[in-house]
A and B are shown apart, each in its own frame.
Chain A
């Protein structure tokens, strides 16, 4: 049973698990997915890539940023059966660039497959946004379901 007390202007409520079992009747305003003010996920509502997404870490802004953008854009817009199969050149260019900066993009695994695998391993130790590590699953889910922003805009922004 929950109990509650008042200490001056502050109110304190203690609740048990049962108290919180009934669904909440608090109303939240529905989110507008096209709200220009909101931070967007990896894929913008118009289908383009949001290069400023924190999930990309510093991939789009580093010394190999332009190569990365080319490779990833090619992949994103690829309509081949094996997605990105025509983008081998761009990926190779990116890989060559990244090899010039081993400190920034440590070579840990084969990078031919997807940009996300690269951004994962490449950016995890050093090349992050203002805070460290990324979740491994997020970028790959971005690849898998690129039409859908990862979970909700806020968690991915």
Chain B
């Protein structure tokens, strides 16, 4: 339609000319044929009523002239276009030797407007153009228009971005039909989109790769599949491959001579961005457990893959559970530096997943022969351009990607009363999550007399127990306060929560339950915590463990959905937010096929979801199916593993046996000889990671919840299971949840666990 319009614009003068001539002739004819020589007020020609033969001749002359005029115009336009095309090519060839930085910052601004304008126009033309080498006039017209628009928007980058969309469309369409017939496709496209396509395809690959995925989402399925297949193909420069692959197989040939150009442009970029790769086939935002698991999964499945992790922490990927457990039980005084902890089998390991030598340096990212994982530390992603498939860092460098994972985790929540309380209070408050928080808290705890933990969940209780143990040596007063009736009040049924609270108290912690903080003041070098029921607690330092706020900073710029019920990015059962974007870990609100939509903040979930996201990024399309588990240890005789939805508001059925001295986390560990529990079942080991001075005797009182199984039931179906001091049985629990059956007698189900055995 638009084509017609533009065509009409060109032909309009001609049409008008010829129509007036026709009209005039008609009138003249009318005049001539008019028997009555009445005066007609219409067009007068010098030739009057007389002289018919002369009129015919003049008519013929005029038409002929009009025709010749039209023809010459057409020829001139075509020639002009060719000249412009050649000029453009020359310009583009000279461009790659220039620095790319001025191109890049302008590119996003330009691109924002560019795709809008350029896309609707070339779209209709893209479809017909590959089919037929359309008449030069037709194609030249829209080509000229696109170019005019592109020229308006200034530099090379802009035209590169407008052109790949139309390039992509015909390329993709051509490629889906004639997958391997690259030579055939190339000349077709060449002819059809002559002034438009060739330039970007041969241009600097990184920029072209930017907008490649722009247009078609459904047809993007074949290109990404091809992409992942093409990537293993060994090339000198990794990034020209994905760029080529993404642009469609037909374009694979032209970019190949470009590796030198690419390398050149990469090398020529300014020192500021010299360390940052400009393109990453796999970009993982966030450097935590989920991200690392995904990186490993990608590397296992896509040989030679290059994975870039961008994290705003200064540390390489590490695991979090030891920060609130094992590291506190270490005898090593330099533990805050080494960050090594002893597992219960005596083997020591670092909290870092891998030592630095495992990773490829960002500078060598592009040239890594067999690929690798590179980590960019202390760099925050501030903006995400989903249409352009690239992100912007806080130092204004841009990284384009083919597949992206968002694993940004979360930020610890703070209490409003603490935030309002002023700087002195804030200085003495720790929000515990990262390595630096561990280091500072460890230091602080040695120099003060009293510490208060606000929060009765996993983190709060674990920290309270860890610090409580220290209190026996150092005389540190450890207080834990929370609004619930007992520790883990939101997870454990009331009877068990009360029992757990007793245990925590035994660890040396002063537990204040049903405590709502009204205000916090700093007075006389002490923090005064005023509770709503009037109680006053004086302490030196506060640790706030009141939940995690999922980090969805990129949702706005990327246009991703945020879940209102659970928080976090809303993703489907395969952890995908949009094509080429996945989310895993604490930040993902995903659809669990069995248990419904949820968001899980546990270590094993980060591993499982990260691994799954990595698999899906390499083409697997698997939903969240392997149920993750979690565990907690509160002292030497309370340890449990749990799986599924473990919410104390659900009705529960608990089946218990009397515990013997053998049934403690420590015993289980020593027997099977392993470290952290979550990978225990996957690697056939299970244990807790709690140190204990002496094995505590089994508690002798009437209702002894020594060991057992607790089922959480929703609509008669078991949706969650806690294995209470019962270890190495997680596969059975997983199976029961996976089946999702209604069981009439849960005692029968409990028999499957053999709780009386070790």
Which residues of the partner chain A approach B348 to less than 8 Å between Cβ atoms?
125
Give the Cβ gap from A66 to chain B, nearest Cβ, in Å.
5
- Please, how many angstroms separate the alpha-carbon atoms of A29 and B734 in the complex? 12
Q: Does B370 contact A (CB under 8 A)?
A: yes
Q: Does A108 contact B (CB under 8 A)?
A: no
Given contacts A155-B681, A155-B731, contact A61 B300 (CB under 8 A): yes
Chain B residues 612 to 628 lying within 8 A of chain A, measured CB to CB, are 614-615, 622-623, 625-626
Partner of A126, one of B301, B354, B610: B354
Contact B300 A138 (CB under 8 A): no
Give the Cβ gap from B62 to chain A, nearest Cβ, in Å.
75
Which residues of the partner chain B approach A52 to less than 8 Å between Cβ atoms?
296-297, 300-301, 611, 614-615
Which residues of the partner chain A approach B750 to less than 8 Å between Cβ atoms?
13, 15, 20
Given contacts A7-B495, A20-B756, A52-B611, contact A134 B751 (CB under 8 A): no
Q: Does B679 contact A (CB under 8 A)?
A: yes
Contact B357 A130 (CB under 8 A): no
Contact A11 B675 (CB under 8 A): no
Given contacts A10-B493, A25-B748, contact A128 B349 (CB under 8 A): yes
Contact B751 A37 (CB under 8 A): no
Chain A residues 52 to 88 lying within 8 A of chain B, measured CB to CB, are 52, 54-56, 58, 60-63, 65-66, 69
Chain A residues 1 to 29 lying within 8 A of chain B, measured CB to CB, are 2, 7-17, 19-20, 22-29
Give the Cβ gap from B145 to chain A, nearest Cβ, in Å.
49
Interface size class of B (residues with CB under 8 A): 35 or more
Contact A157 B296 (CB under 8 A): no
Give the Cβ gap from A70 to chain B, nearest Cβ, in Å.
10
Which residues of the partner chain A approach B303 to less than 8 Å between Cβ atoms?
65-66, 69
- Residue ID in chain B nearest A51 by CB atoms: B300
Q: Does A133 contact B (CB under 8 A)?
A: yes
Which residues of the partner chain B approach A130 to less than 8 Å between Cβ atoms?
289, 292-293, 319, 353, 603, 606-607, 610, 678-679
- Residue ID in chain B nearest A5 by CB atoms: B703
Contact A104 B657 (CB under 8 A): no
Give the Cβ gap from B700 to chain A, nearest Cβ, in Å.
14
- Please, how many angstroms separate the alpha-carbon atoms of A54 and B653 in the complex? 33
Partner of A152, one of B304, B353, B731, B747: B731
Give the Cβ gap from B363 to chain A, nearest Cβ, in Å.
16
Which residues of the partner chain B approach A112 to less than 8 Å between Cβ atoms?
none
> Quick one: CB contact mask for B5-49 with A, threshold 8 Å, 1 for yes?
000000000000000000000000000000000000000000000
Contact A14 B300 (CB under 8 A): no
> Quick one: CB contact mask for B199-218 with A, threshold 8 Å, 1 for yes?
00000000000000000000
Given contacts A8-B494, A26-B743, A58-B296, contact A13 B652 (CB under 8 A): no
Which of B185-193, B426-434, B682-690 lines the interface with chain A?
A: B682-690
Contact A61 B735 (CB under 8 A): no
Contact B736 A39 (CB under 8 A): no
- Please, how many angstroms separate the alpha-carbon atoms of A39 and B734 in the complex? 12
Contact A37 B623 (CB under 8 A): yes
Contact A156 B684 (CB under 8 A): yes
Q: From B297, B298, B300, B683, name the one whose CB has the most chain A CB atoms within 10 angstroms.
A: B683
Interface size, chain A (Cβ < 8 Å): 64
Chain A residues 119 to 151 lying within 8 A of chain B, measured CB to CB, are 124-135, 137-138, 150-151
- Please, how many angstroms separate the alpha-carbon atoms of A16 and B304 in the complex? 56
Contact B652 A157 (CB under 8 A): no
- Please, how many angstroms separate the alpha-carbon atoms of A12 and B603 in the complex? 29
- Residue ID in chain B nearest A69 by CB atoms: B303
Contact B656 A37 (CB under 8 A): no
Q: From B611, B652, B747, name the one whose CB has the most chain A CB atoms within 10 angstroms.
A: B747
- Please, how many angstroms separate the alpha-carbon atoms of A128 and B293 in the complex? 11
- Please, how many angstroms separate the alpha-carbon atoms of A104 and B349 in the complex? 12
Give the Cβ gap from B575 to chain A, nearest Cβ, in Å.
13
Q: Does A154 contact B (CB under 8 A)?
A: yes
Contact A132 B343 (CB under 8 A): yes
- Residue ID in chain B nearest A50 by CB atoms: B300
Q: Does B56 contact A (CB under 8 A)?
A: no
Contact B682 A11 (CB under 8 A): no
Give the Cβ gap from B327 to chain A, nearest Cβ, in Å.
13
Which residues of the partner chain A approach B607 to less than 8 Å between Cβ atoms?
129-131
Contact A127 B354 (CB under 8 A): yes
- Please, how many angstroms separate the alpha-carbon atoms of A138 and B755 in the complex? 25
Contact A24 B358 (CB under 8 A): no
Given contacts A39-B626, A134-B685, contact A20 B751 (CB under 8 A): yes
- Please, how many angstroms separate the alpha-carbon atoms of A8 and B649 in the complex? 11
Q: Does A38 contact B (CB under 8 A)?
A: yes
- Residue ID in chain B nearest A100 by CB atoms: B357
- Please, how many angstroms separate the alpha-carbon atoms of A23 and B752 in the complex? 8
Give the Cβ gap from B387 to chain A, nearest Cβ, in Å.
31
Q: Does B350 contact A (CB under 8 A)?
A: yes
Give the Cβ gap from B751 to chain A, nearest Cβ, in Å.
4
Contact A24 B748 (CB under 8 A): yes
Which residues of the partner chain A approach B603 to less than 8 Å between Cβ atoms?
130-131
- Please, how many angstroms separate the alpha-carbon atoms of A56 and B683 in the complex? 9
Which residues of the partner chain A approach B494 to less than 8 Å between Cβ atoms?
7-8, 10
- Please, how many angstroms separate the alpha-carbon atoms of A24 and B747 in the complex? 9
Contact B747 A13 (CB under 8 A): yes
Which residues of the partner chain B approach A19 to less than 8 Å between Cβ atoms?
747
Partner of B651, one of A10, A28, A62: A10
Contact A24 B319 (CB under 8 A): no
Contact A26 B349 (CB under 8 A): no
Given contacts A24-B748, A26-B749, contact A129 B679 (CB under 8 A): yes
- Please, how many angstroms separate the alpha-carbon atoms of A137 and B685 in the complex? 10
Q: Does A96 contact B (CB under 8 A)?
A: no
- Residue ID in chain A nearest B303 by CB atoms: A66
Contact A104 B355 (CB under 8 A): yes
Which residues of the partner chain B approach A63 to less than 8 Å between Cβ atoms?
357-358, 360, 370, 372
- Please, how many angstroms separate the alpha-carbon atoms of A125 and B756 in the complex? 34
Given contacts A15-B657, A15-B747, A28-B735, contact A55 B683 (CB under 8 A): yes
Which residues of the partner chain A approach B652 to less than 8 Å between Cβ atoms?
9-11
- Please, how many angstroms separate the alpha-carbon atoms of A150 and B684 in the complex? 10
Which residues of the partner chain A approach B741 to less than 8 Å between Cβ atoms?
27-29
- Residue ID in chain A nearest B683 by CB atoms: A134
- Residue ID in chain A nearest B687 by CB atoms: A133
Q: Does B299 contact A (CB under 8 A)?
A: yes
Q: Does B722 contact A (CB under 8 A)?
A: no
- Please, how many angstroms separate the alpha-carbon atoms of A125 and B293 in the complex? 18
- Please, how many angstroms separate the alpha-carbon atoms of A134 and B684 in the complex? 8
Give the Cβ gap from B346 to chain A, nearest Cβ, in Å.
10
Give the Cβ gap from A144 to chain B, nearest Cβ, in Å.
14
Give the Cβ gap from B694 to chain A, nearest Cβ, in Å.
25
> Quick one: CB contact mask for B582-625 with A, threshold 8 Å, 1 for yes?
00000000000000000000010011001100110000001101
Contact B300 A60 (CB under 8 A): yes
Contact B651 A133 (CB under 8 A): no
Q: From A38, A124, A131, name the one whose CB has the most chain B CB atoms within 10 angstroms.
A: A131
- Please, how many angstroms separate the alpha-carbon atoms of A98 and B255 in the complex? 35
- Please, how many angstroms separate the alpha-carbon atoms of A12 and B493 in the complex? 10
Q: Does B295 contact A (CB under 8 A)?
A: yes
Q: Does B220 contact A (CB under 8 A)?
A: no
- Please, how many angstroms separate the alpha-carbon atoms of A20 and B358 in the complex? 50
Q: Does A89 contact B (CB under 8 A)?
A: no
Q: Does B674 contact A (CB under 8 A)?
A: yes
Contact B354 A11 (CB under 8 A): no
Chain B residues 672 to 707 lying within 8 A of chain A, measured CB to CB, are 672-685, 703
Going nearest first, the 5 A-B pairs with the smallest beta carbon separation are A131-B679, A61-B299, A24-B751, A132-B675, A130-B607
Residue positions of A touching B, CB distance < 8 A:
2, 7-17, 19-20, 22-29, 31, 36-39, 51-52, 54-56, 58, 60-63, 65-66, 69, 101, 103-104, 124-135, 137-138, 150-152, 154-157
Offer 7 A-B interface pairs, CB within 8 angstroms, sorted by A.
Answer: A8-B494, A10-B653, A20-B657, A24-B748, A126-B354, A133-B349, A133-B674
Residue positions of B touching A, CB distance < 8 A:
289, 292-293, 295-301, 303-304, 319, 343, 345, 347-350, 353-355, 357-358, 360, 370, 372-373, 493-495, 603, 606-607, 610-611, 614-615, 622-623, 625-626, 650-657, 672-685, 703, 731, 734-736, 739, 741, 743, 745, 747-752, 754-756
